[in-house]
Amino acid sequence: MFKGSYVALITPMDDLGKVDYTALQKLVEFHVENGTHGIVSVGTTGESATLPFEEHINVVKKTVQFAQGNIPIIAGSGANSTEEAIFLSNKLANTGIAGFLSVVPYYNKPQQRGMVAHFSAIADAADLPVLLYNVPGRTVADMLPETVAELAEHKNIVGLKDATGDMSRYKETKALVPDDFVLLSGDDATGAEFLTLGGDGVISVTANIVPKAMSDMCEAALDKRFDDVMDINGRIKQLHTTLFLESNPVMPKWALFKMGMIPCANLRLPLVTPELQSQNALEQVMREIGVIS
């Protein structure tokens, strides 16, 4: 469980800004068909910051329903309020999910001891596996390897999504946590290197666009075919960069729209569709790798 390619799935919206559940079903089936190993529903890429609780919970429920048990679903349940994170986790606990992804609290910049208390309280409250999520580029606060190691002692905390892009951080963390503690890359640009160092998989934005390539790359890594990992990554590495020309998930939504996978590229305010220059750059890369003609 929790190894391989997990897609950080977008949440499709219609012309009125409502969740488009028909498009969501199409996306989930697309990932099942293309070998994606699991889905993260309503994480950062799924616009968790702007989905009210009721809508957030319903998107997760529908994602589980559409997956039909073919692949596991991890629910984003993080918040910068511990009380809110526990509330959301409890509401999601019986939806059929395989576990939670919980981000380091953003904006209020907790101390390391505060992070330990926060995640321990979440893991105590709901008896499902919890994956920690460290993304200091968004949260400002950075969860240190020693903090991860302390949290890894909790029976319900089973892994970490590391979006620092720092390979020395991976090595430090790996040396401190149990062998069965799952380490996943949350940074597509360095994901292949993370895998060759022994990482267990990825939670990927790029997988929204090229799910088969990402699942093949992760399977090659788990089989220790590291030349294949680098070969596959070499074919899609420009996509890693262009998908982050503007704030995620602005660019992956635009890409999926151009692929005909979603009917429009709408986002929840304050995010808006990408600038023309960014659109053109992304479409050029997509044509070069054969995603669009």
Given the residues 161, 170, 253, 258, select the one marked as catalytic: 161
Per-residue tokens: 23: 């498009």
Active site residue 155: no
Output the known binding site. Answer: 45, 203
The length of the chain is 293
Active-site residue (options: 61, 133, 170, 258): 133
Q: Where are the beta strands (DSSP E) in 115-200?
A: 130-134, 157-162, 182-185
Q: How many CB atoms lie within 10 A of CB 258?
A: 18
Note if the bond before 12 is cis, omega within 30 degrees. Answer: no
Q: Could you tell me the two tokens for 119?
A: 């995640």
To the query of whether residue 133 is one of the catalytic residues in this protein, the response is yes
Q: Which two tokens stand for residue 208?
A: 């929204």
Binding residues for pyruvate, by number, are 45, 203
User: How open is the CA angle 156-46-166, to the nearest 5 degrees?
Assistant: 65
Measured CA to CA in angstroms, residue 21 lies from 93, 96, 110, 151, 183 at distances of 21, 18, 36, 36, 31
State the burial class of residue 69 (Cβ atoms within 10 Å of its Cβ: 0-12, 13-18, 19+).
exposed
Cis status of the peptide bond prior to 249, with omega within 30 of 0: yes
In whole angstroms, give the CA distance from residue 138 to residue 270: 15
Residues known to be catalytic: 133, 161
